[in-house]
Amino acid sequence: MDQLATAPSRPRRPGRRVSRRRLAALAAVGLSLTLAGAACSGAGSGTAGRAAAATGGAAAPSVAVRGSLCDALPSGAEPGNPSSLAAEPPEAALQWVPVLTTFEAAVRAAGMASELHRASGVTILAPTDDAFEAQFSEDNLDELFIDDKDKLRGLLREHLVAGSLSLSDLVAAGEVTTLAGTKIRVTGGDTTARLADKADTVCADYRAADARIHIINRVLGNLPVTAGTGGHKSH
C-alpha cells in the first residue's frame, strides 16, 4: 500500500493553493502518472518506517535548514518538519512543504515524479507558490499543466541540478548547470544564496533521500512573465 495514503495526521497545508480548476484537470489527465509515481514512492522502504519518518519519528536524523522563510514552515515535532523528510523520496518530500504546492503539482503534471525518484543525487531549486503567482497568470499555468507538458518539463529542469548539493556546496561551486543545460551563477553567504542574479534561497538545505531541496523566491528560466496580463478564462 502506498505510504502517503497511510501516513497519520497529515497536515492541512496552509497558504496559496493550485486552483480547483487546474487540480481537477490534472486529476483527469494525470491519474495514471500519479498512480505510477505512488507505486515508485512505495518501493524500497517499509510502510511503518516511512510513516515514522513523515511524522517526525525517533529514527529521523536531525536536519537544520537556513533562510528567512524557515520560521514560517513546519518545525520541531510538527508533521513535515525538515528532519522528518530526510528519508523520503524527493517527490514525496515536496508534498509536505506547504509553500511548494504549485511546484509539486507541476512535477506530477509533467510526469516527472518517477524521474526524481530514480535520480542518483539531485538538487531541487523549488520556487514558492508566490513565485509562481508572480511569474505566470492562472491561464498560462493551466496551459503549461494541461496542454504544453514539454515546456513544463523544460521549466522544471531549469530548477534541477545533478548531485545532492548543500547550500555551502552551491556557494563554493560558484556556478552550477541545470538539467536543462543552463549555467547558473551562485553567490551568497552562510544562510542564503543568490541564483542567476535573479532568485534567492529563502529556506535552504532540506534533505530527502539522495537529494537536497532549496526553496527559492523566483522562478528560474526564460519563460515570459504573464502574471497580471489578463483575467481568468470564462467557466
CATH code, 87: 2.30.180.10
Residue 228, domain member (yes or no): no
Residue 63, domain member (yes or no): yes
Q: What is the pLDDT of residue 60?
A: 59
Residue 221, domain member (yes or no): no
Residue 172, domain member (yes or no): yes
Residue 65, domain member (yes or no): yes
Q: Could you say which DSSP state residue 98 is in?
A: T
Q: What is the pLDDT of residue 8?
A: 32
Q: How many domains does the chain have?
A: 1
Angle at 226 between CA 93 and CA 216, to 5 degrees: 30
Closest CA to 125 of 88, 83, 178, 76: 178
Residue 53, domain member (yes or no): yes
**Residue pointed to by grid coordinates 537556513:** 66
List the domain range (segments joined by +) for residue 7.
3-216
Q: What is the pLDDT of residue 230?
A: 62
Q: What is the pLDDT of residue 229?
A: 79
Q: How many CB atoms lie within 10 A of CB 38?
A: 18
Task: Report the C-alpha gap between 195 and 197 in whole angstroms.
Answer: 5
Task: Report the C-alpha gap between 131 and 201 in whole angstroms.
Answer: 12
Q: What is the pLDDT of residue 189?
A: 79
Task: Report the half-sphere exposure of 122 (CA within 13 A, side-chain side).
Answer: 24
Residue 194, domain member (yes or no): yes
Residue 198, domain member (yes or no): yes
Split the chain (235 residues) into runs of 10 and give each run's mean pLDDT: 35 41 43 39 38 47 94 96 97 98 98 93 98 97 96 98 97 97 94 97 97 98 90 45
Task: Report the C-alpha gap between 106 and 109 in whole angstroms.
Answer: 5
Q: What is the pLDDT of residue 234?
A: 38
